[in-house]
Amino acid sequence: MARIPRTTGIALPAPPPRLRRLDKHTWLYVAVIAAVVLGAILGLAAPGFARALEPIGTGFVSLIKMMIAPIIFCTIVVGVGSIAKAATVGKIGGLALVYFLAMSTFALAIGLVVGNLIHPGEGLNIKGATYTAPSTEGTSTQDFILGIIPTTFFSAFTGGSVLQVLFLALLVGFALQGMGERGKPIMDFVKNLQALVFRVLGMILWLAPVGAFGAIAAVVGKTGVQAILSLGVVLVAFYVTCFLFIAVVLGSLLAVVARVNVFSLIRYLGSEYLLIVGTSSSESALPRLIAKMEHLGVSKPVVGITVPTGYSFNLDGTAIYLTMASLFIATGMGTPMSIGEQISLLVFMIIASKGAAGVTGAGLATLAGGLQAFRPDLVGGVGVIVGIDRFMSEGRAVTNFTGNAVATVLIGTWTKQIDADRMRRVLRGELPFSGGVGDDHGTAGATPVAEPAPERIPAGVR
């Protein structure tokens, strides 16, 4: 019997990879949604029993809280190293870092403004979701500043002060910069330690369905239908804010600087958005974003510097989420933040959110770290956010991805390293993307090269 070549015949092996798309992260996502729904139903049907489940949510928050210090330390040290690397590439890197800092700050500020306008969490009773926190009453400004300095190098990790960990991490990061090549082994160690820490956090996050079930059940049991309405309000407000940020803020910048309609750029990146929504991670589309930005007409140096750096320093969707979630928790627990506390929290989030892009749970840990640093009495409310965090992940990922695509076009325009005529032709569909990372400018329509497999990056930008 003649042997059929492997490359011919019906492609029967194709369906299994499609089935494998439902990986463990997808199942975890589905499990959290199911837990939230069941918790809400239980809270409405048996409020007394549901309130007794509060320790489940509290226990999950305690596990997250346990990981805050090592996560903040590792991410800040690695983040400072990333800043140094970007700064060495001259004008492009420096301009990109300034832009990223400005846009992240602006996104955080927008989250605060919207949060103060809609007061998310009003009518929500989560006062019981607390833990014993150090008292800060009567603390002077001098004591607060001196309290940032840890007693010993290692006491910062055991003293419960996130600001001490932040201070120590900044010192270590800048010291490693000054050591040059001698500091590389230490930086590699910190990166490996970061991988270990986030692996532990990933194990803890498998308990998210249980924690979300207990927290949501207890909240709904205490508050009733109002809890569901409050959670719905913050979800809708978050997505509306992200849309307005993309359409108004990023759209205006793109139109003024590059004379490009942001929705044309979004249409060009349509397949990447589908990939992002399917994986809840903008990191999954990173290789294709690099390829498509080069095909669009942006020079390789600009793309090679702006896109990877932006994935760590230009997380606009995550910034909006952090501030709105903080205000939601504060209002829901009946102790709204003062303007001073909000500004302090904003500054902390700007620093602490760097260096952990693409790592599952990083956003949750950063949120808990910020609250512990400035309002320790609010950390318990993170258990409620866990229940709706997954619903927000797609909005964060899409906003982060769009922000980095827009940034690449803007940086290319400012540095005059973009082919504007080619960009317009590509966006009009005259030069379709061939699908290859090696697709240089002017090679549109050439024989497509094989697209590389996606890099193994944890799902979900947080």
Domain count, the chain: 1
What is d(CA 309, CA 296) in angstroms, rounded to the nearest whole number? 19
Give the per-residue pLDDT at 45.
85
CATH number at residue 316: 1.10.3860
Q: Which amino acid is present at 202? A: G
Count of all residues that appear for the chain in the document: 462
- Within 10 Å of residue 224's Cβ, how many Cβ atoms? 15
Range of the domain at 49: 23-427
Taking the C-alpha atoms of residue 279 and residue 398, their distance in angstroms, rounded to an integer, is: 11
pLDDT of residue 426: 92
- Contact between residue 419 and residue 406 where contact means Cβ atoms under 8 Å apart: no
**HSE-up (13 A, CA, CB side) for residue 312:** 22
Residue 372 lies in a domain: yes
Please choose, from the candidates 158, 111, 162, 191, the residue with its C-alpha nearest in 3D space to the C-alpha of residue 355: 191
User: What pLDDT is attached to residue 90?
Assistant: 66
Asked whether residue 437 is assigned to any structural domain, the reply reads no
> pLDDT 10s per residue in the chain (462 long)?
444 444 444 444 444 444 445 556 667 767 877 887 888 888 888 888 888 887 887 787 778 778 777 877 887 787 776 666 665 556 777 788 889 888 888 888 888 888 888 776 665 655 554 433 334 344 455 665 777 788 788 877 776 666 777 788 888 888 887 787 888 898 889 889 888 887 887 788 788 788 878 877 877 777 777 777 777 888 888 999 999 999 999 999 999 999 999 999 999 998 888 877 765 667 667 778 888 998 999 988 888 878 877 877 788 888 888 888 888 888 877 778 778 778 877 777 776 665 445 455 566 777 777 777 777 777 777 777 776 776 787 788 889 899 999 999 999 999 888 999 999 999 988 888 875 443 444 333 333 333 333 333 333 334
The rounded distance, in Å, linking the Cα atoms of 40 and 160 is 33
In 10 A of CB 343, how many CB atoms?
15
Read off the DSSP letter of residue 181.
Answer: G
Q: What's the CA gap between 72 and 76, in Å, rounded?
A: 6
Show the tokens assigned to 437: 């990372």
| pLDDT given for residue 25 in this prediction | 60
Cα 212 to Cα 390: distance, rounded to the nearest angstrom: 11
Residue 234 domain-assigned (yes or no) = yes
In a domain, 3, yes or no: no
3-state SS, residue 444: coil
Q: Do the domain assignments include residue 462?
A: no
DSSP per residue, 30-77: HHHHHHHHHHHHHHHH-HHHHHTTHHHHHHHHHHHHHTHHHHHHHHHH
What lies within 8 Å, CB to CB, of 55 at 6+ separation is 214
pLDDT at position 254 is: 93
For residue 304, give the H/E element and its range.
helix 300-313
Q: What is the pTM of this model?
A: 0.67
- pLDDT at site 144: 59
The answer to the question of residue 128 being in a domain is yes
Q: Is residue 77 part of a domain?
A: yes
Residue 438 lies in a domain: no
pLDDT of amino acid 122: 64
Residues 6 or more apart whose CB falls under 8 angstroms from that of 249 comprise 106, 110
The answer to whether residues 213 and 33 touch, using CB atoms and an 8 Å cutoff, is no
